[in-house]
Structure 1
Amino acid sequence: MKILFRQCLRGSIYLLLSSFALPIHAQVSVSGLITDSSNMPIPGVNILLKNTTTGTTTNFEGRFKLEASPSDTLVVSYIGFKTQELAVREQVFFTINLTPEANTLAAVLINAGYYTTTDRERTGSIAKVTAKEIELQPVVSPLQALQGRMAGVEVISNSTLPGAAPTIRIRGQNSLRPNGNYPLYIIDGVPFNSTPLETNSTLSFTGIDPLSTINPADIKSIEVLKDADATAIYGSRGANGVVLITTKKGTTGETTVQARIRSGFSEAPNRIDLLKTSEYLKIRQKAFENDGIVPNENNAYDLLVWNQNRNTDWQEKFFGKQAGFTQANLSISGGSSTTRYRVNGSYLKQGSIYPGSASFQKATGSVQLNHLSKDNKFSLNMAITYGADKNHTVGIGSLIPQVFSLAPNAPKIFNEDGSLHWEEWSEVGKENPFQGYLNTSDIKIHNTLANLNLSYRLMKGFKLSSNFGYTHLNSNELTKRPKESYNPQYKEFIDHESAHLQGESTSWIIEPQLSYQENIEKLGIKALIGATLQEQLNLQTGVTGTGYATRSMIGNLAAATNLSRGLHQEANYRYMAFFSRLGLDWDKKYFINLTGRRDGSSRFGPDKRFANFGAIGAAWIFTEEVWVIKKIPWLSFGKLRGSYGITGSDQIGDYGYLDSYVATVGPGGLYPTQLANPNYSWEVNKKLEAAVQLGFFKDRLQLNVSYYKNRSSNQLVGYSLPSITGFTSVQANLPATVENRGWEIEAYAKVINTDDWKWQSTLNFTLPKNELVNYPNIEQSPYANSYRVGEPLNIALLYQYEGINPKTGYYQITDVNDDGRLDYEDRVVVKDRNSKFYGGWQNTLQYKNFDIQFLLQFAKKEGEFALFDAGRVGALRQEDYIGLEGDKFQTISTQLDAIRGYSNLIQTSLPYTDASYIRLKSFALSYSIPNTPLQKIGIKNCKLFVQGQNLFTLSNYRGMDPEMAKGQGTAFGALRTFTTGIEVKF
């Protein structure tokens, strides 16, 4: 019995000990990766063991690690995302994808440059466009995808030619110099020089956009940093705003292949009603009747020499073609819990709406690799992007304005063999309007961008990292000008010619950083210190060759009889900085963000190279207060934020502080080309902002209102010198101050949210004001004829129109100073060319497998009346001139006084008219084929889509394009584009 009792006792003790020992021996190390819906890691996520206080948070890479047992359950929670519960069991690694709540602000992750934040916690002004919005647009440059989508960001296309550089202004124009207003571009942490490339081609007006080598399908998001809090950490480089481009990364799981192809065409968006031949001839005949002059073949060749029955639609001849558009993209991505990869390739080809064989082709490739060690301490992120553009243009640079000055019965342009027709033009002393058409330019651009980021977790909260970047851009342009492009009667003075232009830009950057992140009870701390070392080398050479024996030899410099070196420039730019950031929050309710930077630039003299910049931003989420929650239950979110800081700018040429000389033609001599001034220094930009963010009804309705005031002073401009010095100006700082202020309103609404129907709507509205508030002695400066104190920078200085002189019947202009002539001293009328307000209204509608997205872009502005040629003897506009004369227009005449009256009139405010518009900027309709039948053949997803760009414009403006309502209203920068396509994922 005792033996049995002892055995039972031993067994009981053994079982009891085993029951206690089981949890101890079953404890395992559980780790994982937590990402958002875009597979981006989320730092700061809480992971708790259910019904315990044991837990941890994710690190900077979204990784976590803790001890658990198979019977435990992980509770994963983060503000703005749905909480998930996951049983541990035998699983030791978790890949967790958090689903955002219904568009809560905390779920919107934002790249702020050197750190990541959320829309809920940000203290600065940051706008964001995602891949979903970018992919829907058939555009060449990523900047074109931003049009109408961001408050405070204005993008103008400038040209219909693909590859042309658009203009981007972030909260207005800060510098008096046009080339001093470029924002800073950062692609995956690497600065990118986006200054338009010089060219001899028809793109010379805008320059070549180096961003055209970037594939929009590679982009995950574009963030634009606007205020001091957001930009000050970039110091002098962020004075005009910062554009952050983040490319797509690989995903965990099995390998996925995604292919997208689209094809379509582009065309001119509008036509102007011009006079038919009979109407045009009637006006011409009336002019001779008024003058009492008998027409002859010299003064009236259009009435007596040219065919009276010929009626040519010159708009159709000049830009009536449809430009083909084809784009294909293929990506492969996948990876494990520790290593992710993505490989992407694309091809784009776009034709031209103009005569000839002009075309633009682009091929890009990219590789992304992301690796994290098993202990979650070491990480490696690498990105390499390569892009190659080939732009073939013909000599059409000056053709567009001419189409609106040609008589409808003018002679033909080409002979039957395709050569230019000259006889009928030359016999009346005119040039063929397609003169130079046979000229061609072939531009090849190769761009490589590489980024490597290494990081290591030293201890709890601390991370040491370093960012290495390298860019290399090479451009090669060959322009051919055969003498057949020009009037053969001048053949003794013209010859075959070629112009060669080569450019190369190489830069590298190293940025070591130490970051710290910790939560101490209710206090959250995020700190960062780092340094920047950057060097950029720019080379540019140009050569012109003439005297080629035949047209086929043009471009082969060995066959040229004469060579002239037109350009040789070499510049080495060096930049270094130390930067820091301290972000504090208390109970996720009160936030403060301090940033500072000390910059050094080689563009200033030895004693002026360094400057300090910094900013402070603060925010208060007042809906976290108990008294707000109780009294205003329908207010789901409320935040007040503000910022103030100082940034700078060094956007001037290199070596401007030094004397420069060139060799004389004779031996042993030098002559100066530039005066030294080692005392000029940084432009200074002071930025102030106050804003409120509100969310209503569980954030289904959101409203953001911001007021900003930026002042840019210490302007880097040319200081005028007396002619006795031998120079017109010297580089200096002038006490001129430019102010940009305004209001930005952003609204979001989830209008419908059911199982079958969804409708989301976003509105952005900007009310800007630009002003030159101070410029001492502007009258003695080189800008006396360009700017006025108290007025915007983008103005037109115009004459004052008095009306029609009753004696002469011609237009009369006021001679303000009564000196008997009209000059800039008589230009007393100021016309603001800026938009009074602008914005966009974006909508997304979903019904089951159908998806519709469209964007309406709008602006309130004035522009020059399209073809305001009332009283000009060669008037071509359909409207207003059928009656020939009246109180509004001067007497139609061929006399010099009438021509002079018209020339002066178009430099008054009379030709200006309302150019406000609402444009259907983009439209996309897609249908996702149900997965069930596709999965049988290995297709995970298939989508069919139709897309349109610049489909129609509502405007009272009677020119080609109200967005570019300038000159004679004949310019246009946005083509109407239609594409259809398919996207398949395997």
Structure 2
Amino acid sequence: MKNKYTPAYGMGLLLLLLLFFTGKAWSQHEYTIKGSVTDTTGLSIPGVYVQRLGTSTGTTTNFEGTYRLQVSPTDSLSFTYLGFKRQVIAVNNQTQLNIQLSPSEEALEEVVINAGYYTTTERERTGNIAKITAKELELQPVVSPLQALQGRMAGVEVSLGSDLPGSAPTIRIRGQNSLRAEGNYPLYIIDGMPFNSTPLETNSTLGFTGIDPLSTLNLANIESIEVLKDADATAIYGSRGANGVILITTKKGTPGETTVQARMSTGFSEVPNRIELLHTDEYLKVRRRAFENDGIVPNENNAYDLLVWDQNRETDWQEEFFGGQAEFTQANISIAGGSPTTRYRMNGSYLKQGSVYPGGANYHKATGSAQLNHKSKDDKFSLDMALTYGVDRNNTVGIGSLIPQIYSLAPNAPNIFNEDGSLHWEEWSEVGKENPFQGYLNTSEVKTQNMVANLKLSYRLFEGLKFSTNFGYTNLNSNELTKRPKESFNPEYGEFIDHESAHLQGQRSSWIIEPQLSYQKNIGKLGIKALAGTTLQEQLNRQTGVTGTGYATRSMIGNLAAATSLSRGVSQETTYRYMAFFGRLGMDWDKKYYLNLTGRRDGSSRFGPQQRFANFGAIGAAWIFTKEAWMDNQLSWLSFGKLRGSYGSTGNDQIGDYGYLDTYEATQGPGGLSPSRLANPGYSWEVNKKLEAAIQLGFLKDRFHLNVSYYQNRSSNQLVGYSLPSITGFTSVQANLPAIVENRGWELETHAKIINSDHWNWQSSLNFTLPKNELVSYANLEQSSYVNTYRVGEPLNIVLLYQYEGINPETGYYQIADINDDGRLDYEDRVVTKDRNNQYYGGWQNTLQYKNFNLQFLFQFAKKEGEFALFDAGRVGAQRQEDYLGLEGNGFQEISTQLDAIRGYSNVIQTTLPYTDASYIRLKTLSLSYTLPAKPLRKVGVNNCKVFVHGQNLFTLSQYRGMDPEMALGQGTAFGALRTFTTGIEINF
């Protein structure tokens, strides 16, 4: 038989194959397609990414919104741009393809949420994660990103530390969990790197809350901030997630031509409110009335304001000391671009803010950042690098800590300063008084340098399995110099006072390594997402303090070589080590049923050898019931419905380092040591068990969203100082007590697309929180050091007060109940508790857009109680206008100089009488911007130009009669929310 594979046959087969492939190649020849991309108003959109689906080939539209790309007739092109809906169009042999993109309505599937070690979407999340984006952050004239969160998230309370820039705000995510103030800080993650945000210690007027290390971040460089709240979201962070987790993600570059964005704004801040104080004639009338009531003849010793000081002088002390305007200037520039495989972004900024106080206090900040994102053409390898660096300088003067004293100054009091700016003493000394602003000439300069670096490498081993490693490093250095010249104090005591300087240096550095394996696979209707990894972290803290005295001249203060005496203050160095193993298994069935399991085993060097490791975990589940077949066409107005819930535990190791060890300090004599702390190697982690149930609904094709959540968090095994009998030689020892703190409440969030047309767009969001904090139990509270601080069954943030019983009919003075009839008033008589927490709080945010105009505003509100501002009724030297108008009684005691009247007043301010409604509604932010027409700008090389005006804390609606209802404590003289106006311009080219 003849072999069928003859050369002739083989040649014929080769020709057939050649004809087939050349025919196919001919039918698939590539050519150039071109076109333009515009929005619904006809304006060109530069920077749109145009990609050939199934390949890594793509391009971006230029400044005119046009593109050119090599394609084949059977290709499909994807058009994507942030803020617009993605479109996919088949080429179908076309050579010209013009596209119009519509604004994105932020469908649930499209809203990507950073959950820390992984990402999810609003539709699929099983945990409670709140998010705000750059458009809500970047225009706010604030120093710290925490300040920008006020009123924008349910369950998140941010309280300002003070009006001074750089002071640390206080943030609570779903309430206070720990009895210790230092045990309530959330975990901060910046681009994957844990960041120690504990306020820095200071000797300056920022000392009330400390210095905020987050101040060195640039708000204009932040892409988003996510806050993780429930167990499902936080348990993967284990011991670090007990008080919630705050994820800060910085902006990245976009593929395409290099673009430059510059933004500059300027404005000023001022104190928005004043307390109505007495004029000189009114004040003198009140003073004379007091002497008449007492039947006492005024003399130069007891009535120097009536007989010695000028009766016609009148000074508005509020205007004198915080009536100035704090100038604000900010400049920001960024450069971004890249290819489909490599993107980059660089950013730099400068901020300067003055002070409302006299004396030249000011704040300066400069920041820089760089982002590099690269992936290989086969999408197997990727590299993400982020580096941020910030420096700031905060100059403060002594007045910040002295402000409450101005409310006790008589309007006809002598001048505080001489014409040359020095403190005036003569008229004060003549009547045996100290100048109330001694210490004003003290100054502090705090310099901070902060670097956060992160590198993430990942490689796809095979389909669905990826290995990645995260490397991070942070380094923060702070240097503070406080100068106390002797001219700041009474010269009569000159021989006992000398020039003095206080130096405080601090360093925080940490590194972290986190190798991880992630796996993703779809098996029919089953979707699986798994993650496993480990964490190794080390943190170093150093702090050194030195005080120098005996400087020859004021100009030498601060030069320690010129001091005649040096004394060492705080000096410590601690190392904190942490390691963990963590894992996550996420599953879904038919994109309808979701289950999320997380777990973590943590080890912390802050506990003794036998207590260092602990296990934490959570389970989260969700059911999208609108995907059920029985829901089809049943409720046409209900477009989305999901039930979700979670339960789990997280831990807390926020205590000092080495606390489980004995410590010793040197004795006065040579070579001696004495014990300073008692060891307890047995204490261990605080544990926070979290429960949540929630429902998410979408109505009318998702034009309206409603989220309702109920949460209950119980923090136990509280780490506190356990009281010891004096015979032990120690007052307390660090220990775990079976005290339980519970936070529970309701959170409501709504989002509505009220108008969504070609020219008009109106979106509105509301968040509302109804919280409740309670000390559920505390064993042997009566024998603890907290007996005069807490009460079982009451919130942690309470004040214990006397019981007020009206005006004594015999004396005419305030009367306080002596509960135990022992003839004196003490803590045993404080039987009334006053809750100082917000009863509810929230915010209402709106964005309105008409063609090129954009208007955004946010109202912040809270229901609470606070103290009267300067409750002076019945006090000698009353200053409030209302006290002058109420001289004839009205439920208050008569003005008197008698000791019983003074004692009555000092006691009554520790009752409920001075408390009043401090609820408020505040226009927190208002921004109006206009984008100039694009076509004329492009002729001069400008791609986009926007001008804007912004207002912060514009007005507050409240019945509260103090300075600021948000800070309605301490007799209501504190204020933190300055009114700010800025205007600026943003240019892209």
User: In the aligned structure 2, how far is the partner of 1:696 from the partner of 1:425?
Assistant: 70
User: In the aligned structure 1, how far is the partner of 2:973 from the partner of 2:695?
Assistant: 42
Q: Is the Cα–Cα contact under 8 Å of residues 477 and 506 in structure 2 kept in the other structure?
A: yes
Q: 1:434 corresponds to which letter in structure 2?
A: F
Q: CA deviation at 1:549?
A: 0.8
1:105 alignment partner, SS class: coil
Q: Is the Cα–Cα contact under 8 Å of residues 39 and 97 in structure 1 kept in the other structure?
A: no
Q: CA deviation at 1:884?
A: 1.3
Distance 1:919 1:102, change over 3 A: same
User: In the aligned structure 1, how far is the partner of 2:964 from the partner of 2:853?
Assistant: 33
User: In the aligned structure 1, how far is the partner of 2:713 from the partner of 2:417?
Assistant: 55
Q: 1:915 corresponds to which letter in structure 2?
A: A
Aligned to 2:776: 773
Q: CA deviation at 1:271?
A: 0.5
1:804 is aligned to 2:807 = yes
2:963 to 960, 964, 971: 960
Aligned to 2:881: 878
1:456 to 456, 459, 465: 459
Aligned to 2:65: none
Q: Is the Cα–Cα contact under 8 Å of residues 315 and 403 in structure 1 kept in the other structure?
A: yes
2:399 alignment partner, SS class: coil
Q: 1:22 corresponds to which letter in structure 2?
A: G
Aligned to 2:726: 723
Aligned to 1:160: 163
1:197 is aligned to 2:200 = yes
User: What's the RMSD between the two structures over aligned residues?
Assistant: 2.6
Q: 1:454 corresponds to which letter in structure 2?
A: L
Aligned to 1:84: 88
Distance 1:201 1:651, change over 3 A: same
Distance 1:26 1:210, change over 3 A: farther
Cα deviation 1:506-528 (Å, max 9, x = unaligned):
10000000000111111111100
User: In the aligned structure 2, how far is the partner of 1:636 from the partner of 1:113?
Assistant: 29
Q: CA deviation at 1:418?
A: 1.2
Q: CA deviation at 1:23?
A: 3.1
User: In the aligned structure 2, how far is the partner of 1:232 from the partner of 1:627?
Assistant: 35
Q: Is the Cα–Cα contact under 8 Å of residues 885 and 892 in structure 1 kept in the other structure?
A: no
Aligned to 1:668: 671
Q: CA deviation at 1:885?
A: 2.8
Distance 1:746 1:493, change over 3 A: same
User: In the aligned structure 1, how far is the partner of 2:407 from the partner of 2:75?
Assistant: 75
User: In the aligned structure 2, how far is the partner of 1:462 from the partner of 1:222?
Assistant: 28
Q: 2:590 corresponds to which letter in structure 1?
A: D
1:232 is aligned to 2:235 = yes
User: How do 1:455-604 and structure 2 match up within 5 A?
Assistant: 455-604=458-607
Q: CA deviation at 1:90?
A: 12
Aligned to 2:180: 177
Cα deviation 1:119-165 (Å, max 9, x = unaligned):
00000000001000001211100001100000000001120000000
Aligned to 1:251: 254
User: How do 1:615-764 and structure 2 match up within 5 A?
Assistant: 615-764=618-767
Q: 1:433 corresponds to which letter in structure 2?
A: P
User: In the aligned structure 1, how far is the partner of 2:771 from the partner of 2:960?
Assistant: 22
Aligned to 2:337: 334
Aligned to 1:18: 19
Aligned to 2:6: none
Q: Is the Cα–Cα contact under 8 Å of residues 457 and 469 in structure 2 kept in the other structure?
A: yes
User: In the aligned structure 1, how far is the partner of 2:419 from the partner of 2:104?
Assistant: 67
- Give the TM-score of the pair, scaled to structure 1: 0.93
1:293 to 292, 296, 300: 296
Q: CA deviation at 1:958?
A: 0.5
Cα deviation 1:465-516 (Å, max 9, x = unaligned):
0000000000000000000000001111110000000000110000000000
Aligned to 1:4: none
Q: Is the Cα–Cα contact under 8 Å of residues 457 and 468 in structure 2 kept in the other structure?
A: yes
Q: 2:489 corresponds to which letter in structure 1?
A: Y
Distance 1:535 1:89, change over 3 A: farther
Aligned to 1:64: none
User: In the aligned structure 1, how far is the partner of 2:918 from the partner of 2:371?
Assistant: 45
Q: Is the Cα–Cα contact under 8 Å of residues 233 and 579 in structure 1 kept in the other structure?
A: yes
User: In the aligned structure 2, how far is the partner of 1:537 from the partner of 1:806?
Assistant: 64
Q: CA deviation at 1:102?
A: 2.2
Q: CA deviation at 1:27?
A: 7.7
User: In the aligned structure 2, how far is the partner of 1:939 from the partner of 1:229?
Assistant: 47
**Structure 1 unmatched ranges of 5 or more:** 1-9, 31-36, 50-54, 59-67
1:818 is aligned to 2:799 = no
User: In the aligned structure 2, how far is the partner of 1:672 from the partner of 1:348?
Assistant: 48
Distance 1:39 1:629, change over 3 A: farther
Distance 1:48 1:268, change over 3 A: closer
User: How do 1:898-913 and structure 2 match up within 5 A?
Assistant: 898-913=901-916
Cα deviation 1:925-965 (Å, max 9, x = unaligned):
00000001000000000000000000000000000000000
- Give the TM-score of the pair, scaled to structure 2: 0.93
Aligned to 2:379: 376
Q: Is the Cα–Cα contact under 8 Å of residues 327 and 346 in structure 1 kept in the other structure?
A: yes
Q: Is the Cα–Cα contact under 8 Å of residues 47 and 257 in structure 2 kept in the other structure?
A: no
Q: Is the Cα–Cα contact under 8 Å of residues 872 and 883 in structure 2 kept in the other structure?
A: no
Q: 1:323 corresponds to which letter in structure 2?
A: A
1:631 alignment partner, SS class: coil
Count of matched residue positions in the alignment of Structure 1 and Structure 2: 950
Q: Which runs of 4+ in 1 moved over 2 A?
A: 10-30, 37-42, 46-49, 68-78, 80-83, 85-91, 96-103, 880-883
Aligned to 1:859: 862
Q: Is the Cα–Cα contact under 8 Å of residues 30 and 73 in structure 2 kept in the other structure?
A: no
Aligned to 1:72: 74
Aligned to 1:33: none
Q: CA deviation at 1:881?
A: 2.5
Q: CA deviation at 1:341?
A: 0.6
2:727 alignment partner, SS class: helix
1:830 is aligned to 2:837 = no
Q: Is the Cα–Cα contact under 8 Å of residues 711 and 740 in structure 1 kept in the other structure?
A: yes
Q: Is the Cα–Cα contact under 8 Å of residues 521 and 528 in structure 2 kept in the other structure?
A: yes
Aligned to 1:5: none
User: How do 1:52-63 and structure 2 match up within 5 A?
Assistant: none
Q: CA deviation at 1:891?
A: 1.9
Q: CA deviation at 1:99?
A: 7.1
User: In the aligned structure 2, how far is the partner of 1:48 from the partner of 1:160?
Assistant: 53
User: In the aligned structure 1, how far is the partner of 2:29 from the partner of 2:115?
Assistant: 37
Q: Is the Cα–Cα contact under 8 Å of residues 759 and 845 in structure 1 kept in the other structure?
A: yes
User: In the aligned structure 2, how far is the partner of 1:584 from the partner of 1:429?
Assistant: 78
1:947 to 945, 950, 957: 950
Q: 1:827 corresponds to which letter in structure 2?
A: R
Q: 2:468 corresponds to which letter in structure 1?
A: S
1:321 alignment partner, SS class: coil
Q: Is the Cα–Cα contact under 8 Å of residues 452 and 475 in structure 2 kept in the other structure?
A: yes
Distance 1:119 1:99, change over 3 A: farther
User: In the aligned structure 1, how far is the partner of 2:48 from the partner of 2:698?
Assistant: 26
Aligned to 1:143: 146
User: In the aligned structure 1, how far is the partner of 2:267 from the partner of 2:595?
Assistant: 50
Aligned to 1:65: none
User: In the aligned structure 1, how far is the partner of 2:27 from the partner of 2:389?
Assistant: 50
Distance 1:247 1:40, change over 3 A: farther
Distance 1:662 1:40, change over 3 A: farther
Percent identity (aligned): 77
Cα deviation 1:796-846 (Å, max 9, x = unaligned):
100000111010000010000111111111000010000110000000001
Q: Which moved more, 1:313-322 or 1:619-628?
A: 619-628
Q: CA deviation at 1:753?
A: 1.0
User: In the aligned structure 2, how far is the partner of 1:77 from the partner of 1:482?
Assistant: 66
**Structure 2 unmatched ranges of 5 or more:** 1-10, 32-38, 40-44, 59-69
Distance 1:145 1:569, change over 3 A: same
